[in-house]
Chain A
Amino acid sequence: MKDTPTTELWRRFSENRIALFSLGIIIFLTLLAIAITLSNLHGTPWPMDPNLTNLQQKLCSPSSQHWLGTDHLGRDVFTRMLHGTSISLSVGFTAMLVSLVIGVTIGSIAGYCGGKIDQILMRCVDALLCFPTFFLILTAVALLGPSLWNIIVVMGLISWTGTARLVRGEFLVLRETEYVHAAYILGQHWLRLIIRHILPNAAAIILITAVLGIPEAILAEAGLSFLGFGVQPPQATWGNIIADGKTYLLDAWWLLLFPGMAILITALAFYLLGDGLSAATESRTAKN
């Protein structure tokens, strides 16, 4: 039986144990985040309320009662980190989605149309690439006011340039292939041509940029939190647990170490997954 491209890709991908392991971590974290969001919606935060303060037990070091210690208000760091998982991951996913939609749309239009439109769009991309991205995000979020949605939208609006460039490059190649010419001669509408015929063939590259975009957004949110412009307390994210704890960092190392490890491990898993995916697609094209 001949493999379809997807099963072929999966077979090559699953030979890479590290990437598979990273995928496992990501699935686990996503399920955890979904479970916690559901428990919040239900009104019974699991395992307990992350904002439950207990001033008698503030800044406790890790113990059997508080696995990862407590912060300056006596809140349990482990619970806050669990709840932070859902916020941090959803910031990562949604910001990536926003930037992906913009990037793919602009990249496809530029690559498909070519000529003047391509020139104009790509010069805009060049201009945006000259900005230090994080600084631009910081400026926009600080001026608009740091709410969860502002952060997501601003990150999405600013970080689509890389995707647009990649998609454009892919479209410039695919546009000249015979099957696209054939579809064009058959009189297909340009939109259908893009969506049905060209985009699916650029899917691999889009998937990889999507996977690599998530940790970037998570890290950017953490950086914003550190500077005081991230998701605002009392809502917990990995970034603002560290930011809240930075005043006490000489006394309470656990406020710094564990959330940072969470960010590091999650971002690492996404990067390794992206690397595994790109290796799998490369070896597929190399074989063809």
Chain B
Amino acid sequence: MLSFILRRLTLSCFLLFLISLISFFIMTLTPGSPYPWGEMNPKISPEVKAAFRKKFHLDRPLPEQYKLMISDLFTGKLRSMKDDLPVLQKILERLPATLALNITAIFLSLSFGTLLGIYGACHKDRWQDLLSSILVFCFIALPGFWISYLVVIALVKDVGIPFLGTHSYGIDFPNHLSLWLDRAWHIMLPALLLSLAGMATQSRYLRASLIEALQENYILTARAKGLSKTVILYQHALKNSLRSLITGAGMLLPGLISGAVIIESIFAYPGMGQLGYQAVLERDYPTLIALNFIVAALVLLGNLIADVLYAIVDPRVRLG
């Protein structure tokens, strides 16, 4: 197990290197300049321009720029080209909100996805299955921003329930409990909308593996012994299919962060998605590269944890 983890960590380092290389070249090879002012702005003196180029190493050849950027990233010296704040600080400020949103979304995806999957598999090829399948495909086919707008219009405008941002403003919370409840309430809706696509994948996955499991011989044996349907389903078949939860959780992460760019901007939720979108708009290369790097590291870590958990849960799986 330990050697597997070590090997995976080495591989992850190599992948992170590739990822940083790809994102660096996407930034530098595309046309346009990262200056905070217009390139031809006559009011900016050549000295100021030269100082800016020197500060962000733009006067060096590309390979050296890359090297300096990565070493700055690891030493925490990397600064945003727009507001000159340390990039790591900007990202770390947003990390708790992002993690809270994404973990809630993963939890919702897996739990509701599992329920829908069980429901579909139990009613295989009947109208209930058909209905739940179509519902699930609707979840993937929904444009995320569209459904968010519909929900926001319906709830904020017509019903008048506030839930934008991370917490309610202008209220003194009497105790910690009510503060946390308020936060949980604000996270619920964006997380639910964010989790729809993952819910769909999870439920299709579980449905397929459960249908397969229900055709196995040991299920026939269990039925022949006269066990009840519930016991067969939950104690025999589902146990073997639940492993898909772990892989599912590992695969959900990149998709969630993509979806978060849009959902966060609609719900005014201060997460990493919004930070990334802002950085794209401002062509803030250091922030973009650091963001890609940290997200990729989170994804790799998530996958590693998923693989290890998988091996722990299922003794048939041998790592290595």
Interface residues of A (CB under 8 A from B): 18, 123-124, 126-136, 138-140, 142-145, 215, 219, 222-223, 226-227, 239, 242, 246, 249-250, 253, 256-257, 260, 263-264, 267-268, 270-272, 275
Contacts and interface: CB of A to CB of B under 8 A. Distances in A.
A138 B261 contact: yes
B15 A126 contact: yes
Contacts of A140: 26, 30
Contacts, number: 134
9 contacts: A123-B14, A127-B18, A131-B292, A135-B257, A242-B149, A246-B149, A249-B153, A253-B153, A271-B137
Nearest to A219: B143
B285 to A, nearest CB: 9
A127 B22 contact: yes
A18 B19 CA distance: 41
Contacts of B141: 215, 219, 263-264, 267-268, 270-271
A227 B140 CA distance: 19
Interface stretch (B184-192, B276-284, B312-320): B276-284
A285 B262 CA distance: 41
Interface residues of B, number: 49
A268 B11 CA distance: 38
B153 A250 contact: yes
Interface string B272-314: 0100110011010000100010011001100000000000000
A268 B138 contact: yes
Contact of A133 (B144, B146, B258, B300): B258
Interface in B129-169: 130, 133-134, 137-138, 140-147, 149-150, 153, 157
Give me the 8 closest cross-chain CB pairs, A-B, nearest first: A134-B258, A267-B141, A143-B30, A260-B146, A127-B18, A132-B258, A130-B296, A132-B257
Point out which of A132, A253, A272, A275 has the most chain B C-beta atoms below 10 A from its C-beta: A132
B144 A127 contact: no
Contacts of A219: 141, 143
B133 A131 contact: no
Contacts of A138: 261, 277, 280
Interface of B is mostly: helix
A222 B144 CA distance: 9
Contacts of A250: 153, 157
Given A138-B280, A271-B141, A124 B18 contact: yes
A242 B254 contact: no
B32 interface: yes
B143 A130 contact: no
A264 B276 CA distance: 27
Nearest to A144: B30
B137 A263 contact: no
Nearest to A143: B30
A134 B277 CA distance: 11
B21 to A, nearest CB: 9
A133 to B, nearest CB: 6
A268 B137 contact: yes
Given A142-B280, A219-B141, A268-B137, A128 B258 contact: no
B133 A275 contact: yes
B270 interface: no
B153 A223 contact: no
Contacts of A18: 130, 134
B133 A226 contact: no
A271 B257 CA distance: 22
A235 B255 CA distance: 29
A89 to B, nearest CB: 15
Interface in B26-48: 26-27, 30-32
Given A139-B276, A242-B143, 18 more contacts: A123-B14, A123-B18, A127-B18, A129-B254, A131-B19, A131-B296, A132-B295, A136-B292, A143-B283, A144-B31, A145-B31, A145-B32, A242-B146, A250-B153, A257-B150, A260-B150, A264-B142, A275-B133
Given A134-B259, A144-B31, A253-B153, A139 B288 contact: yes
